[in-house]
Amino acid sequence: MIEIKNLHKKFDGKDVLDGINVTIHEGEQVAVIGPSGSGKSTFIRCINCLEDPDEGIIMFDGENIADFSVDINLHRQNMGMVFQNFNLFSNKTVLENITLAPKHIYGKQMKNQGMSKKQIAEHFDAEAMALLKRIGLEDKADAYPSTLSGGQKQRIAIVRALAMKPKVILFDEPTSALDPEMVGEVLDLMRSLANEKLTMVIVTHEMGFAREVASRVLFMDGGNIVEDGTPDEVFGNPKHPRLKEFLSKIL
């Protein structure tokens, strides 16, 4: 589904990503682990070109999205992203946060098909309410993000990504900014998405979660993927010395 070849990214002349090659298949839940500064976040931010790769190819939906001439907005609609700091739109209510992009992007096509503005709004509002119901936050529909807890914000950020019906969702350390007691509710939601076989790429420090939920684990070090395998292989039988050292420190 996503085929990455020879991905390079430099910051201030320093190689942060040093020629990454990896293919992510449909239905996989890929956990990306590794020490700080190994390039995990840069890697996941390069996948949807929030950071523009300096070199390399990212094939998605049959197009190289690393190419500047490709309309990246079109591809990002199919590639959701969840951030460490939630990044909910603070000037919009919870419901507006979820419906803004679908209304703006898909609403145009629906309008061309003859639907009225009101019908379109009702359609997306209903979808958003169903998503909120799923996470038990339908009573927060008209609240502003500043009134919510971190866990609530991140769950809303996840359903905001889901509302676009993406083919894949990228998670950039989704639980790192949360209070410990709120991590569980976010992981529960991600677990349920994994059970539905949604394709996910998750940069995380939650090793237990990676082991339990991911179908595949990538270990990054020094801007490269140094180990790639099933959770059992990576956690149970680490081969690379850097991975062994990393696991011994955190487990």
Partner 1 sequence: MKRTIIKIIALIILLVSVFATVSCSKTENKLIKAVDIKLTNEEYAFVCKEGNTALVNSMNSFMAQIKESGEFDALVAKYFEGEGEKVGYPVATTDVQNTKDLFVVATNCPFEPFEYMEKDGLIYGLDIEIAAAYAKANGLELVVKNIGFDEIFVQVGAGYADIGMAGITVDAEREKTYDFTVPYYEASQKLIVLSDNSDFDKCESVSDVESMLSSLNGVGVGYQSATTGSLYVNGDELWGFSGFDNLDGKAYANAQVAVSDLINGNIYAVVLDEAPANAIIDATNEASSLNLALKLENFINTLKNPHYSGILLLGLLNTVKVAVLGLIIGIIIGTLIAIVRVAPKYKLAYKILDKICSLYTLIFRGTPIVAQLLIAYYVIIPSIGIKMDALNVGMIVFGMNSGAYVSEIMRGGINSVDKGQMEAGRALGLTYSTTMLKIVVPQAVKNILPTLGNEFISLIKETSVLSFIAVYDLYKALLDIGMVKYDSMIPYLMMGVIYIVLVLIISAGIKIIERRFAKSDRN
What is the binding site for partner 1 (CB under 8 A)? 48, 50, 68, 73-81, 83, 85-92, 100-101, 104-105, 144-147, 157, 160-161, 164
Q: Which of 247, 221, 222 shows the shortest CA–CA distance to 233?
A: 247
Q: How far is the CB of 78 from partner 1 (least distance, A)?
A: 8
Q: How far is the CB of 97 from partner 1 (least distance, A)?
A: 9
Distances (CA, A) of 167 to 75, 200, 205: 10, 9, 24
Complex with partner 1: residue 112 or 237, whichever CB lies closer? 112
Q: Which of 162, 164, 14, 161 shows the shortest CA–CA distance to 83?
A: 161
Centre a 10 Å sphere on the Cβ of residue 92 and count the other Cβ atoms it contains.
14
Centre a 10 Å sphere on the Cβ of residue 221 and count the other Cβ atoms it contains.
21
Measure CA 43 to chain center: 12
Complex with partner 1: residue 61 or 232, whichever CB lies closer? 61
Complex with partner 1: residue 78 or 230, whichever CB lies closer? 78
67 DSSP 8-state letter: S
Q: How far is the CB of 120 from partner 1 (least distance, A)?
A: 16
Distances (CA, A) of 30 to 74, 160, 209, 212, 245: 23, 21, 12, 12, 21
Complex with partner 1: residue 164 or 207, whichever CB lies closer? 164
Residues 115 and 97: their CA atoms lie apart, in Å, by 22
Complex with partner 1: residue 85 or 116, whichever CB lies closer? 85
Q: How far is the CB of 77 from partner 1 (least distance, A)?
A: 3
Amino acid type, 203: V
Tell me the residue ranges of DSSP E strands in the chain.
2-11, 14-24, 29-33, 55-60, 63-64, 79-82, 168-172, 199-203, 216-221, 224-229
Q: How far is the CB of 174 from partner 1 (least distance, A)?
A: 13
Complex with partner 1: residue 32 or 243, whichever CB lies closer? 32
Q: How far is the CB of 46 from partner 1 (least distance, A)?
A: 13
